[in-house]
Structures are given as C-alpha cells and as structure tokens.
Amino acid sequence: MISGQGVPNYKSKEEDEDLQQLTINLDAYLSRGQNYTLRLDFTGPLTDDLLGFYYSSYKDGNKTM
C-alpha cells in the first residue's frame, strides 16, 4: 500500500523469479529529499537458507542484532 499527499500511485509490478526480485512501478517519479513508506503483507515461512524472505543476525561488539 502506498498512500499520502502527493505520493505517486501504484501502476504495476514485475516479478523475476530467477533473480527473486519484485519491481513496483509507479505512475510518477518519487521526489528527492522526501520520505516514503512502503508496506507489504507477507505470508510464508521465514528461513535461514538465504532464499526468499529470510532472517539473519550479526554481532555489534557483544550485542547480537
């Protein structure tokens, strides 16, 4: 969902299954210096095999992020 004043509207999407990429096309360009929020619903497993949506962590000093 994309919403807000002066925000371009969703036009279409392109999926590349080989690259596991989703491109979202809008009906206008985004403006430099503006903040936008993109919200997506996801249903499926989160895995640790680096495919699709996956979870990961890293260490920053003694803290796991």
Taking the chain (65 residues) in runs of 10, the rounded mean pLDDT of each run is: 69 91 92 86 82 81 89
CB distance 64 to 57 below 8 Å: yes
How much is the pTM?
0.57
d(CA 17, CA 12): 16
Q: Of all helices (H) and strands (E), which one includes residue 63?
A: strand 63-64
Q: What's the distance, Cα to Cα, between the start and end of the chain in Å?
A: 28
